């Protein structure tokens, strides 16, 4: 059964059992710093398991795009060399949020395994967590007890990460027979190849805290996951996931592109095919969801994946960008179920090719760098340092094995110990940035708060002032009862008009006031969904938990932010109108002073395009139309092409739409009520920030006026420098240009006269070489006058040869002129120059009547002139 069919049968089965069909989330986790990429179907439901958010359904089923690379779940270097490691795969799953539990989960899994997957019932071997008697008993009604194995925490306790939802699990294994090993039970099968796991049922019961303790979840839930590639592999009876339909199809296109045949048993070449097929899927899906190869975080991981694919491509002779040519095949097999892939086709192709080109250039430079490193090491008699080896590997993607081999060929050692230290550090960097770790600690504190008190109610779309009760006070990462004047803290209220930074819009500032206290809010953040932290310090008084405060947002600042946010939507609309629908927002920042908008586009905008954008936005501002906002169920909005939404975002059951009729966008930010409030819009800067990625920085209102006034200010400064009133600047400059042209002409005349004078003086110094009158000399004039001087001289002496030379900055220049009559007698300027320039380490050429040359050794100019004399002497006799 092909992947497509299997996927739909699985989803249909669970849909019939009352599970909502939910689309895969983006592979980029939204608002979850604990994760680099989505690595399991349950990620998009993390909040629901924790009880901090709710959905309209209690059962769901998905086919989730997963990326396992760079995190704890995968080792990139394995992919391609094993039968089943992948960086990208689809995970089928069914979920219960406090609805059914172990009994039904096991029944469904059994039915699907034996009926939908059609695996022979007597080949299915369940495993359970060692202490889970309940699961053991439940399985006993389907298989004999002898086929149920108990495993410990390492195998049968699943956790999403170091913190978060987790619980004991039960796996379904399929016995693939003796061909895959002699083990007779899963407990004996250390490699797991014979008794292959194909489905994991997690009985979600706990939330692991930062200190490692397990807090019970609000209600026991179910999370299951089955890798679709593995199921298809088992069904088709093929030895590896790379022999299944989608991946094998991609391998076929690689065969065509490289003209090399794929032989799964060829240890030298087969890994390359597998690496490329797998990595292409990972890259294409991640790019479609908005990640760009870069030097940080996810972008860094993606860059590593792409470089690995390119390096393996070279093993198949693919030494030019090739990944884009494989994409149509992938879209054909997966685009129908994942429309975001089809929609992003052009952008994916463009980014892949740009990145491949850049890396191929880097590789070529890397080759050069390696030879330098080697020659330096040989001449200094030292080894290749760990730092150099790491640079070659990390920046130029050269595998360490290759570096070791080349070093060995040159009888050089490599400081491997230091290299490995650097490698370990880099791994650490990509695994978890410091920021993520800190946020993680904070996150769990706030998660605990939301768990206890429920979310803070945000009332600030309509009001900027509201009464609230202090629910929690946090100083130095711990909850306290009260704070006193001078102390800094994070304050949480039951309700607030303060907007916490999100979706690019900065947090509000303002004050929290009571009769006895004044707390200045410098920033407002939401470290965890539902928690709104007012960050600031207590200016005076005391604040205690339970105190009532008046929350006052700085209204002027908020208005500017809202204006800029609406202007961002207008800019997005204008960009799509001008450049086309492929323009996608890749990031934005909205603060009171400016807005910044990043988008995918392959070339810089022209001045004209920038003006068109400004005009379009300003026109909408002058229309002064109102901006509507309302909430809709996400199901109704999903798939509506007239509402801009981002695959990179995870939306709740209800979403907010910002509607200006011509532009509709899902957005949680604050907006101005009438477009006219924005006043004026001006683009301050347009620049490139990465391959295929542009950035516009713009200002509105008073800031836009200041920007518009800048050229005038410059003009005023200019007028001061020119010592004329502003109105006279043009006139003054025209006059200066006229004067400067006249001066230039005079100077030219002076130079020509000078050349004439030098020529006249030289004409009197004619020597005779045999019959040939000649002037051969070095002169003290500028190089650009040399030709003019030689022309004037030959005109004066009429018949003969002229060789003039001058010396400038470590070089010498030579020009030769031969009169027509001597050319006819067989003397050639070009030949003369060619005969003498080697003496000054240079080259030259020209025609019989005129030639020129230059050299790097001016101290041998005298010798060259002597050689010219001898040459001409000989020639004049012939």
Which residues contact ligand ALA (rule: CB under 6 A)?
40, 42, 158, 200, 202, 223-225
CB of 202 to ligand ALA, least distance (A): 5
The residue among 66 and 492 lying less far from ligand ALA, judged by its C-beta, is 66
What's the rounded Cα separation, in Å, for the pair 562 and 674? 11
Q: Among 590, 447, 491, which residue's Cα sits nearest to residue 50?
A: 447
CB of 16 to ligand ALA, least distance (A): 21
CB of 201 to ligand ALA, least distance (A): 7
The residue among 203 and 528 lying less far from ligand ALA, judged by its C-beta, is 203
CB of 373 to ligand ALA, least distance (A): 44
CB of 42 to ligand ALA, least distance (A): 5
Phi/psi of residue 95, nearest 5 degrees: -135, 145
Which residue number has the CB closest to ligand ALA? 225
β partners of residue 596? 589, 697
Q: Among 458, 454, 446, which residue's Cα sits nearest to residue 656?
A: 458
The residue among 223 and 598 lying less far from ligand ALA, judged by its C-beta, is 223
Question: Residue 74 contacts by C-beta under 8 Å, 6 or more apart in sequence?
Answer: 68, 85, 87
The residue among 161 and 800 lying less far from ligand ALA, judged by its C-beta, is 161
Per-residue buried b or exposed e for 747-782, using 16+ beta carbons within 10 Å of the residue's own CB = eeeeeeeebeebbeebbeebeebeebbbbbebbeee
Specify the long-range contacts of residues 684-688, CB closer than 8 Å, at least 24 apart.
684/594, 686/604, 686/605, 686/610, 687/604, 688/604
The residue among 40 and 570 lying less far from ligand ALA, judged by its C-beta, is 40
Phi/psi of residue 614, nearest 5 degrees: -60, -45
Q: How many residues does the chain have?
A: 878
| 580: its two tokens | 């086309």
Largest CA distance in the chain: 121
| 704: its two tokens | 């836009």
Decide: 249 and 131 in contact? Cβ < 8 Å: no
| 769: its two tokens | 């070489």
The residue among 161 and 844 lying less far from ligand ALA, judged by its C-beta, is 161
Neighbours of 601 (CB within 10 A): 20
Decide: 249 and 275 in contact? Cβ < 8 Å: no
What DSSP letter does each residue of 685-753 carry, written as one string? Answer: EEEEEETTEEEEEEEEHHHHHHHHHHHHHHHHHHHHHHTS-GGGHHHHHHHHHHHHHHHHHHHHHHHHH
Decide: 257 and 293 in contact? Cβ < 8 Å: no
The structure tokens 């890749």 sit at 586
What are the Cα distances from residue 355, in Å, to 311, 687, 690, 691?
13, 18, 10, 7
Decide: 513 and 574 in contact? Cβ < 8 Å: no
What's the rounded Cα separation, in Å, for the pair 454 and 54? 12
The residue among 36 and 40 lying less far from ligand ALA, judged by its C-beta, is 40
The residue among 38 and 318 lying less far from ligand ALA, judged by its C-beta, is 38
The residue among 225 and 468 lying less far from ligand ALA, judged by its C-beta, is 225
The residue among 51 and 541 lying less far from ligand ALA, judged by its C-beta, is 51
CB of 93 to ligand ALA, least distance (A): 6
CB of 41 to ligand ALA, least distance (A): 6
The structure tokens 């940080």 sit at 296
Question: Residue 469 contacts by C-beta under 8 Å, 6 or more apart in sequence?
Answer: 493, 494, 546, 547, 548, 549
CB of 91 to ligand ALA, least distance (A): 7
What's the rounded Cα separation, in Å, for the pair 381 and 358? 34
The residue among 91 and 474 lying less far from ligand ALA, judged by its C-beta, is 91
The residue among 47 and 223 lying less far from ligand ALA, judged by its C-beta, is 223
The residue among 3 and 200 lying less far from ligand ALA, judged by its C-beta, is 200
The residue among 225 and 313 lying less far from ligand ALA, judged by its C-beta, is 225
The structure tokens 């907006």 sit at 671
| 362: its two tokens | 């880097």
The residue among 200 and 675 lying less far from ligand ALA, judged by its C-beta, is 200
The residue among 6 and 40 lying less far from ligand ALA, judged by its C-beta, is 40
What DSSP letter does each residue of 205-236 carry, written as one string? Answer: EEEE-TTS-EEEEEEEEEEEEEEHHHHHHHHH
What's the rounded Cα separation, in Å, for the pair 262 and 272? 9
**Beta strand extents in 83-213 (DSSP E only):** 88-96, 124-129, 149-151, 157-159, 164-175, 195-208
Give the orientation angle of helix 607-623 with respect to helix 555-579, to 10 degrees: 120
């Amino acid at each position: 059964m092909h992947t497509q069919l299997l996927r739909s049968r699985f989803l249909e089965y669970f849909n019939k059992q009352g599970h909502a069909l939910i689309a895969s989330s983006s592979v980029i986790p939204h608002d979850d710093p604990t994760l680099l990429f989505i690595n399991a179907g349950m990620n998009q439901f993390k909040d629901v398991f924790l009880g901090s958010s709710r959905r309209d359904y209690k059962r769901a089923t998905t086919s989730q795009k997963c990326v396992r690379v760079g995190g704890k779940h995968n080792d990139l270097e394995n992919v391609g060399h094993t039968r089943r490691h992948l960086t990208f795969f689809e995970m089928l799953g069914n979920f219960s949020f406090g609805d059914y539990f172990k009994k039904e989960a096991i029944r469904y899994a059994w039915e699907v395994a034996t009926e939908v997957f059609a695996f022979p019932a007597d080949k299915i071997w369940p495993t359970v967590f060692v202490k889970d008697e309940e699961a053991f008993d439940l399985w006993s009604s389907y298989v004999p007890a002898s086929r149920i194995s108990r495993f410990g925490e390492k195998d049968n306790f699943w956790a999403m990460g170091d913190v978060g939802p987790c619980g004991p699990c039960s796996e379904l294994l399929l016995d693939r027979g003796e061909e895959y090993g002699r083990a007779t039970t899963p407990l004996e099968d250390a490699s797991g190849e014979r008794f292959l796991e194909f489905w994991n049922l997690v009985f979600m019961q706990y939330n692991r805290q930062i200190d490692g303790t397990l807090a019970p979840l609000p209600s026991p839930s179910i999370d299951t996951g089955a890798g679709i590639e593995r199921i298809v592999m088992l069904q088709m009876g093929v030895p590896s996931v790379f022999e299944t339909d989608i991946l094998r199809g991609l391998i076929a296109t690689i065969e065509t592109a490289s003209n090399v045949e794929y032989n799964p048993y060829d240890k030298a070449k087969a890994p390359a095919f597998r690496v490329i097929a797998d990595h292409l899927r990972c890259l294409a899906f991640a790019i479609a969801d908005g990640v760009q190869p870069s030097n940080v975080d996810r972008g860094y991981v993606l860059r590593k994946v792409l470089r690995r694919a390119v390096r393996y491509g070279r093993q198949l002779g693919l030494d030019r960008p090739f990944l884009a040519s494989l994409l149509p095949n992938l879209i054909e097999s997966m685009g129908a179920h994942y429309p975001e892939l089809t929609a992003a086709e052009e952008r994916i192709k463009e980014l892949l090719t740009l990145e491949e080109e850049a890396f191929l250039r880097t590789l070529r430079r890397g080759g050069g760098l390696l030879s330098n490193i080697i020659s330096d090491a040989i001449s200094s008699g030292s080894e290749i340092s760990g730092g150099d080896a790491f640079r070659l590997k990390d920046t130029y993607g050269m595998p360490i094995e290759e570096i070791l081999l080349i070093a060995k060929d040159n009888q050089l050692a490599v400081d491997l110990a230091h290299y490995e230290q650097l490698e370990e550090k880099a791994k650490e960097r990509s695994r978890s940035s410091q920021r993520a770790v800190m946020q993680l600690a904070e996150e769990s504190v706030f998660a605990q708060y939301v768990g206890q008190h429920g979310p803070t109610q945000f009332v600030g779309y309509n009001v900027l002032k509201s009464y609230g009760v202090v629910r929690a006070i946090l100083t130095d990462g711990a909850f306290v009862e009260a704070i006193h004047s001078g102390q800094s803290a994070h304050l949480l209220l039951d309700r607030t008009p303060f907007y916490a930074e999100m979706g690019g819009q900065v947090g509000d500032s303002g004050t929290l006031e009571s009769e006895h206290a004044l707390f200045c809010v410098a920033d407002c953040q939401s470290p965890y969904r539902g928690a709104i932290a007012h960050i600031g310090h207590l200016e005076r008084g005391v604040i205690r938990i339970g105190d009532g405060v008046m929350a006052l947002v700085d209204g002027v600042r908020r208005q500017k932010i809202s204006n800029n946010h609406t202007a961002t939507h207008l800019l997005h609309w204008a960009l799509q109108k001008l450049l086309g629908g492929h323009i996608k927002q890749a990031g934005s920042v909205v603060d009171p002073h400016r807005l910044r908008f990043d988008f995918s586009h392959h070339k810089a905008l022209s001045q004209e395009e920038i003006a068109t954008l400004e005009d379009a936005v300003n026109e909408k501002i002058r229309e002064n139309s109102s901006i509507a906002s309302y909430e809709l169920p996400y199901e109704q909005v999903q798939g509506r092409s007239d509402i801009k939404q981002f695959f990179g975002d995870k939306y709740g059951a209800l979403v907010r739409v910002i509607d200006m009729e011509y532009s509709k966008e899902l957005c949680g930010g604050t907006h101005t009520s009438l477009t006219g409030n924005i006043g004026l819009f001006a683009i301050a800067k347009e620049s490139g920030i990465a391959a295929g990625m542009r950035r516009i920085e713009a200002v509105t209102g008073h800031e836009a006026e200041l920007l518009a006034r800048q050229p005038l200010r410059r003009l005023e400064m200019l007028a001061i420098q020119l010592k004329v009133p502003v109105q006279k600047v043009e006139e003054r400059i025209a006059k200066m240009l006229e004067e400067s042209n006249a001066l230039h002409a005079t100077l030219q005349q002076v130079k020509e006269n000078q050349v004439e004078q030098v020529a006249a003086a030289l004409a009197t110094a004619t020597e005779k070489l045999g019959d040939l009158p000649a002037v051969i000399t070095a002169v003290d004039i500028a190089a650009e006058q040399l030709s003019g001087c030689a022309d004037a001289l030959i005109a004066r002496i009429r018949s003969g040869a002229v060789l003039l030379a001058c010396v400038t900055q470590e070089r010498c220049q030579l020009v030769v002129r031969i009169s027509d009559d001597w050319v006819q007698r067989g003397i050639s300027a070009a030949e003369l120059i060619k005969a003498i320039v080697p003496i000054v380490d240079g080259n030259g050429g020209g025609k019989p009547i005129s030639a020129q040359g230059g050299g790097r050794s001016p101290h041998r100019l005298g010798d060259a002139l002597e050689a010219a004399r001898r040459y001409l002497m000989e020639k004049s006799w012939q």
